[in-house]
């Protein structure tokens, strides 16, 4: 399972309908609104995700 970087919901990578790639990594989203928000400023959300992982 992946975690939607916008709303933090669990998303199944195998069945996810909404995805974006940023800096070689695929991000999965639960809904089109989350994908749109990420696509408007991917660096903001990608950085938050990596900070939480460290």
Q: What is the C-alpha separation between 44 and 46, in angstroms, rounded?
A: 6
10 beta partners? 3
- Quick check: is 36 in a domain? yes
Q: Could you give the CA distance from residue 31 to residue 44 in angstroms, rounded to a whole number? A: 18
Q: pTM for the full model?
A: 0.85
Burial of 28 (0-12, 13-18, 19+ CB in 10 A): buried
A 10 A CB-CB count for 42 gives 17
Say how far apart CA 26 and CA 29 lie, in whole Å: 10
Q: Would 18 be classed as within a structural domain?
A: no
1-54 pLDDT, tens digit per residue, is 999 999 999 999 999 999 999 999 999 999 999 999 999 999 999 877 655 544
In a domain, residue 32? The reply is: yes
Task: Let me know if residue 4 belongs to a domain.
Answer: no
Residue 35 resides in a domain: yes
Please give the tally of structural domains in the chain. Answer: 1
Domain of residue 32, residue span: 27-54
């Amino acid at each position: 399972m992946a975690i939607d970087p916008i709303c933090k919901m669990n998303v199944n990578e195998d069945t996810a309908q909404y995805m974006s790639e940023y800096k070689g990594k695929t991000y999965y989203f639960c809904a089109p609104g989350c994908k749109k928000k990420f696509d408007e400023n991917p660096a903001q959300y990608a950085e938050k995700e990596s900070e939480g992982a460290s």
